[in-house]
Amino acid sequence: MLEALASGLIQVVQWPTVGFLFLGVLVGVWLGAVPGLGGAIGLVIILPFTFGMDTVQAFALLLGVYAVTSTGDTIASVMLGIPGTAASQATILDGYPMAMKGQAARAFGAAYTVSMIGGVLGALVMAVSLPIILPVILAFGMPEFFMLAILGLAMVGSLSGASILKGIGAAAIGLLFSQVGYGHISSIPRFHFGAEYLLDGLPLVPVILGLFALPEVMELGVRDTSISRVPKDQAKGGGMLQGVRDAFRNWWLVVRCSAIGVYIGMIPGLGAAVVDWFAYGHTVQSAKDKSQFGQGDIRGVIGPESANNAVRGGALVPTVAFGIPGSASNAILLSALLIQGLKPGTEMLVDQLDVTFSMIWSIVIANIVAAALLMVFTTQFAKIAFVRGHLILPGVILFVFMGAFMASADIGDWIAMLGAGLLGIIMKRAGWPRPPVILAMVLGPIMEQAFQVSMQAYGPAFLLRPVSIGIVLIVALTIYLSARGIIKNRFSSQSGPEKGEGQEKNPLISFLVSAVLVVVFGAAVIMAYPWPVSLKQFTLVVAIPAFFVFLAAAWRDFGEARSVVAEAGGLGPAFSVVAERGAFRRTADLYGWLVAILIVGLLVGQQIAIPLFIALYLWRWGEYGWRTSLVYAVAGWLVLFGYYDQVLHIAWHQPLLLP
């Protein structure tokens, strides 16, 4: 064992293997930082280059990318409130509010420190766990997968807003989205409304970018503000070194959340999707003072960031030991194993143990290098928080639109993103949390398959299995503790201003959202009723309880809305106040500009539409000179042509008016 451990380290640190590892780290950081890309895309691009390479060199390159995307995605999560990957959803809850306070450097310092520690711990625990983890993994069948997904949704629903009803309702929206297209058990399309684009389901990336990126980026343009709402000379407590000290001050939290990341990561299909929420839930529930969570509490960054890097090592265990990939990235790594002539299982744990340890060392070194590299540039990243929003918006819009288009290279990706963007704007203004929607979309297919298999094998009695009962009790405890915390904060004099995800209070808008959702889920029940049992069963299990959740939310919002109308002196004046406070008119104008990108892209091409938007936006909205506008637009076109066209070779949409 020790000989294989030493041999693996020697193979990784010798040239040119270490060079390939560093190259992978650079690519991984870039892919994590750019919304819409992520590790799976990078691995797909790099995989062909590993053909014919030495085994250890090939995996140094691939694992350099794989290990650090969860470090790079912190940039988008903190600076823009956009989850760069699925594993950074919880980071935005406190990371983005910290950037709004001018404390982005502090958030980065803490995040990179704990990411390094979590990644290293994850790899080390992977090494220790490989021989003994088989019984644990085999103890989880389909019923347990279903119940773990329920636990993940309960955590995100109860922790990411000011109302558990709205959190659970938002999760129901995501579960309904996950059922668009062909059924996961029966190949009959659902909720596609005759659109071929929807037959394969709603793509996740455009929905993520629409829900999170567009509302936050548009806020910069509408309010004409920087990311930080505090001037640079007034920002306090925001240094990188303070973030590093925060990480070591909360070392026991880092260790606990890293352990959560490793062992949740070992569960195929669930790990990366829910691990940050398990860590965030543990962070909140174990804290004595919960009043600042969601408003920029550094512990809300430390917990998820410790776990989402540790999950990488844990997720490799079932891939290497049993040939069971738990995610798209792990499936690509499994393909690389097979291409190199290696077989998961005994061969990797006995005959090729030195190769397995070289993979572990690659993850360890990659996390250390990525954290050190990003810390060097942390001060520069943090400065972006004080740049005028009009300069940030066009560049982010370029990457957001192209990130969405990367989902399937179909113009429908832009339509889906803009539709999700409108939903995200409304949910934000209405005080409905958005993270539960995304987590539910990720878990929906897994939950449906697990539910159908469990029902066929055990019937409703699958809920009475010992592990299932244990998870049900944890779900109940999670909701109880969250409800108690929400009630305590509501009546506490320490409750802060309306900041953070799902914290805005607009009862009129929220009531309209609740009422519309009552109709939508009622219609879903009616549409699903005549379907075959295998197709409608999960839909009804989701839609019927959700219908009553939205009824309860609507009733509560109606009572609060009546008070608002009475206080304003009528419905018209009340709406006027809400519209003025929410800057509805300017928001609608800017949203129209984004729709114009779609229309112009359809007519004359995407490589013209996006640079044209950049130039006109800077000239009209930002009131910059024509030189600045033109230079920025040309730079945008160079990115489109040089990176997306020449490097990624994407298939552009054929414009209607040009050959």
CA distances, 88 to each of 74, 189, 218, 400, 424 (Å): 7, 31, 21, 17, 18
Beta bridge partners of 51: none
Question: What is the identity of the amino acid at 484?
Answer: R
Considering only the C-alpha atoms of the chain, give the largest distance between any 2 of them, rounded to a whole number of Å. 80
Amino acid 496: pLDDT: 41
Which token pair is 446? 């897994």
Average pLDDT, the chain: 79
Question: What is the identity of the amino acid at 317?
Answer: V
In the chain, % of residues over pLDDT 70: 80
Residue 611 has pLDDT above 80, yes or no: yes
Amino acid 606: pLDDT: 92
- Interhelix angle 328-339/55-72, rounded to 10 degrees, is 170
The predicted-structure confidence for 113-158, as pLDDT tens digits, reads as follows 888 888 777 777 766 766 665 565 556 677 877 887 787 777 766 6
Three-state SS for 181?
Answer: strand
Cβ(206)–Cβ(420) below 8 Å: yes
The predicted-structure confidence for 200-231, as pLDDT tens digits, reads as follows 888 877 888 888 788 888 888 887 777 766 56
Q: Provide the pLDDT confidence category of residue 97 given band limits of 50, 70 and 90.
A: confident
How far is 310 from 615, CA to CA, in rounded Å?
Answer: 43
The predicted-structure confidence for 463-480, as pLDDT tens digits, reads as follows 888 777 888 888 787 777
Three-state SS for 182?
Answer: strand
Phi-psi region of 433 (alpha: psi -120 to 50; beta: other; left: phi over 0): beta
Of the candidates 402, 412, 405, 417, the residue with the CA atom closest to the CA atom of residue 640 = 402
Of the candidates 60, 52, 47, 50, the residue with the CA atom closest to the CA atom of residue 14 = 60
- Interhelix angle 2-13/17-33, rounded to 10 degrees, is 80
Buried b (16+ CB within 10 A) or exposed e, 488-523: ebeeeeeeeeebbbbbbebbbbbbbbbbebbeebbe
The predicted-structure confidence for 249-300, as pLDDT tens digits, reads as follows 888 888 888 888 877 777 665 656 677 777 888 888 788 877 777 777 888 8
Q: Which of 70-79, 488-497, 595-604 has the highest mean pLDDT?
A: 595-604
Of the candidates 43, 474, 9, the residue with the CA atom closest to the CA atom of residue 260 = 474
Amino acid 453: pLDDT: 84
- Interhelix angle 571-581/584-604, rounded to 10 degrees, is 60
Dihedrals phi, psi of 182, to nearest 5 degrees: -60, 140
Q: Provide the pLDDT confidence category of residue 165 given band limits of 50, 70 and 90.
A: confident
Q: Where are the domains of the chain?
A: 2-226+234-491, 584-645
CA distances, 433 to each of 74, 76, 155 (Å): 20, 18, 13
Beta bridge partners of 181: 190
Distance in Å from the first CA to the final CA of the chain:
63
Write down how long the chain is: 659
Positive or negative torsion for Cα 342, 348, 351, 357: positive
Cis peptide before 131 (omega within 30 of 0): no
Dihedrals phi, psi of 181, to nearest 5 degrees: 100, -165
How far is 22 from 503, CA to CA, in rounded Å?
Answer: 41
Q: Provide the pLDDT confidence category of residue 418 given band limits of 50, 70 and 90.
A: very high
Amino acid 350: pLDDT: 65
Three-state SS for 608?
Answer: helix
Global pTM value: 0.77
How far is 172 from 166, CA to CA, in rounded Å?
Answer: 10
Which token pair is 425? 């704007």
Cite the DSSP H helix spans in 323-410.
328-339, 346, 353-383, 389-405
Cβ(267)–Cβ(278) below 8 Å: no
